[in-house]
Amino acid sequence: MREICQLYKLGIIKFGEFTLSSGKKSTFYINLRELPSYPELFRCIMEKLLGKIDVKPYDAICGIATGGIPFAAYIAFKYKKPLIYVRKKRKEYGAEDLIVGKASGKHVLVVDDVATTGRSLIHAINVLRENGALVDKVAVIVLRNKKAIDDLNKLSVKLQYLYYAGELIEVLYREGLIGKKNYELALEELE
């Protein structure tokens, strides 16, 4: 779990007071958007994620703008699959598309960085399905809230994740990188 300690030491996992994209307050933040700035660590984490996913059945890899795009791009380029992505909201200019790339008729693997509530994943799944794509699996690096698994199961979509946030916090505490107060406050958020 050396890579988890590296994420903390690089400031990708932070402790303090934060507002998440869901609007919820949090005592810790995981900013995986910075991960591609560290190519060796990025490759290491992506290869670990790919060890949990069978990419062969998918016709295209879809990232969720913007956090999921570099992770989806890594998978798409490695497996020579088309890369597409879903925007959070429709552009107000140009073609005004929600999807960049062709999804219709394709079996699509959806990729994002962190799943907290699952709302952005559900939005992407609905947009892809409305545009003729088959979606049955999503993959994320970090799962913050296990409720997202149940919400995606209701849509007949399996969520695959590399790390559960509680595991990250346990490792950081065990390795002496965070104190007991941060450890306990973070775990309370996850219950």
- Reported as type and span, the H/E element at residue 115 is strand 107-115
DSSP 116-142: SSSHHHHHHHHHHHHTT-EEEEEEEEE
pLDDT at 110: 97
Q: What average pLDDT does this structure show over 117-121? A: 90
> What pLDDT score does 94 carry?
47
Q: Please name the amino acid found at residue 191.
A: E
Q: If DSSP codes are grouped into helix, strand and coil, which group holds residue 22?
A: coil
How crowded is residue 89: how many other Cβ atoms within 10 Å of its Cβ?
8
Query: Among residues of the chain, what percentage have pLDDT more than 70?
Result: 95
pTM check: above 0.85: yes
Closest-CA residue to 57 (of 89, 79, 84, 30): 79
Distance of CA 2 to the CA centre of its chain: 20
**At 81, which amino acid appears?**
K
Average pLDDT rounded to a whole number, residues 114-126 = 92
Of 21, 4, 26, whose CA–CA distance to 67 is shortest? 21
Per DSSP, helices labelled H in the chain are 2-9, 39-50, 69-79, 119-130, 147-153, 165-174, 180-190
**Choice among 17-21, 27-31, 175-179 with the minimum mean pLDDT:** 17-21
